[in-house]
């Protein structure tokens, strides 16, 4: 049956012409049909594969765009932080200039001033970061910012010590002593020091601008020196916060309070009760967050604390 052939007879139109006869295998139409079906199935499979690949490519493209946007935002934050460091450097340049003037005026006095660290120097306008015409990778910029912060903190500490010693030659010594914090503002336990630390609310590292002194809620907080109350307000992170200006560029701040007993504009004396320990704001427990700010720069309050008996 399958070995027989199919005969095709072609009759031309018009003038009488020779009739043409064609013999084709009987399986040829079936084979053509099978090949056509296989081609259609293959085309459908290829189309489905292409569609899946396109969908996967579109998802990957969207993810890459999201990561690119995130990287751009992180870079913007890093460069903004770098700008703040440059601003602090300019303020430190002003402090260096002021210190040189004081040293020039006290040149004839036998005043022991702590020398600068070896290897530091340059003009007041120097900046260790990349200049406006240079490009730095994000990793290089982050490393440079950490080095700059360490240097600025160390330099701020040196300037703070030098200016305290130099200032005694130009201000009334009794007034300076009365206005310089030199005692513990609260009887408590030191639980967190000044500088970099692990955040108590997560795994990230943060810069702690003061010290934490743990004490029960309601424990009295005293003024560590004479001064003028400049603010008593609420802050979302620090809770109830108090600030006292002691003159000569020194300001102390007290946070997480439960109550304030003084008001802005009020003059306070060393040893006077000004507030009570609390746990207002963002905190893990009752304690006092205590800061000492010199010429607008946070310094280590431990340098102003006398040894307790």
Please check whether residues 157 and 194 belong to one and the same domain.
Answer: no
Please check whether residues 5 and 90 belong to one and the same domain.
Answer: no
Please check whether residues 142 and 205 belong to one and the same domain.
Answer: no
The pLDDT value given to residue 112 = 44
- SS3 of 285, please? coil
Please check whether residues 8 and 83 belong to one and the same domain.
Answer: no
Return d(Cα 94, Cα 168) in angstroms, integer: 20
Please check whether residues 160 and 188 belong to one and the same domain.
Answer: no
Scan for tokens 């130009």, then name that residue: 170
pTM: 0.46
Domain assignment of residue 161, given as a range: 69-106+136-170
Please check whether residues 202 and 289 belong to one and the same domain.
Answer: yes
Please check whether residues 273 and 187 belong to one and the same domain.
Answer: yes
Please check whether residues 227 and 145 belong to one and the same domain.
Answer: no
pLDDT, tens digit (0-9, with 9 covering 90-100), for 208-218: 899 999 999 99
What does the longest C-alpha to C-alpha distance in the chain come to?
A: 139
The pLDDT value given to residue 25 = 73
What single-letter DSSP state applies at residue 27? Answer: T
Q: Is residue 283 part of a domain?
A: yes
Q: Is residue 131 part of a domain?
A: no
Beta carbons of 177 and 186 less than 8 angstroms apart: no
Please check whether residues 265 and 226 belong to one and the same domain.
Answer: yes
Give the E-state strand segments of the chain in sequence order. 5-10, 20-25, 189-192, 195-198, 205-208, 211-214, 220-222, 227-235, 239-247, 250-260, 267-268, 273-277, 287-294, 297-299
Q: Is residue 122 part of a domain?
A: no
Write out residues in the chain with pLDDT < 70, as ranges.
1-6, 8, 10-17, 19, 22-23, 26-28, 98-99, 101-138, 141, 159-174, 202-203, 307-309
DSSP character string of 149-169: HHHHHHHHHHHHHHHHHHHTT
Give 83's contacts (C-beta < 8 A, 6+ positions apart).
Answer: none
Return d(Cα 152, Cα 39) in angstroms, integer: 74
- Residue 304: CB atoms within 10 A of its CB come to 22
Q: Which of 196, 205, 188, 304 is nearest to 250 (CA)?
A: 304
Please check whether residues 209 and 297 belong to one and the same domain.
Answer: yes
The pLDDT value given to residue 146 = 72
Cα separations (Å) of 264 from 1, 215, 228, 236, 243? 114, 25, 8, 20, 9
Cα separations (Å) of 104 from 111, 156, 288? 12, 20, 40
Q: Is residue 27 part of a domain?
A: yes
Q: Is residue 262 part of a domain?
A: yes
Q: Is residue 130 part of a domain?
A: no
Q: At what angle do helices 28-105 and 138-167 cross, to 10 degrees?
A: 10
The pLDDT value given to residue 61 = 84
Q: How many domains does the chain have?
A: 3
Please check whether residues 191 and 299 belong to one and the same domain.
Answer: yes
Q: Is residue 175 part of a domain?
A: no
Q: Is residue 238 part of a domain?
A: yes
The pLDDT value given to residue 170 = 55
Beta carbons of 179 and 263 less than 8 angstroms apart: no
pLDDT, tens digit (0-9, with 9 covering 90-100), for 28-78: 677 777 788 888 888 877 777 788 887 888 888 888 888 888 888 777 777
CATH number of the domain where residue 261 is located: 2.70.70.10
Please check whether residues 219 and 284 belong to one and the same domain.
Answer: yes
């Amino acid at each position: 049956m399958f070995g027989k052939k199919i005969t095709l007879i072609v009759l031309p139109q018009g003038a009488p012409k020779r009739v043409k006869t064609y013999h084709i295998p009987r399986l040829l139409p079936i084979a053509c049909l099978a090949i056509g079906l296989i081609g259609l199935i293959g085309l459908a499979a290829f189309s489905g594969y292409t569609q899946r690949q396109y969908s996967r490519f579109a998802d990957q493209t969207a993810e890459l765009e999201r990561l690119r946007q995130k990287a751009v935002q992180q870079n913007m934050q890093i460069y903004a932080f770098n700008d703040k460091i440059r601003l602090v450097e300019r303020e430190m340049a002003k402090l260096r200039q002021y210190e040189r003037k004081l040293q020039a005026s006290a040149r004839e006095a036998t005043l022991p001033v702590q020398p600068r660290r070896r290897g530091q120097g340059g003009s007041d306008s120097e900046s260790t970061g990349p200049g406006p015409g240079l490009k730095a990778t994000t990793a290089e910029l982050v490393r440079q910012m950490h080095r700059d912060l360490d240097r600025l903190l160390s330099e701020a500490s040196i300037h703070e010590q030098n200016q305290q010693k130099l200032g005694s030659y130009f201000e009334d010594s009794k007034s300076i002593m009365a206005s310089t914090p030199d005692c513990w503002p609260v009887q408590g336990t030191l639980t967190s020091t000044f500088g970099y630390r692990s955040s108590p609310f997560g795994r990230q590292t943060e810069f702690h601008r003061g010290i934490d002194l743990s004490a029960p809620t309601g424990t009295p907080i005293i003024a560590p020196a004479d001064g003028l109350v400049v603010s008593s307000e609420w802050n979302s992170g620090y809770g109830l916060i108090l600030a006292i200006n002691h003159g000569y560029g020194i300001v102390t701040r007290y946070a997480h309070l439960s109550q304030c007993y003084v008001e802005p504009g009020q003059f306070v004396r060393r040893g006077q009760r000004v507030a009570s320990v609390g746990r207002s704001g963002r905190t893990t427990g009752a304690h006092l967050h205590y800061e000492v700010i010199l010429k607008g720069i946070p310094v280590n309050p431990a340098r102003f604390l006398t040894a307790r008996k």
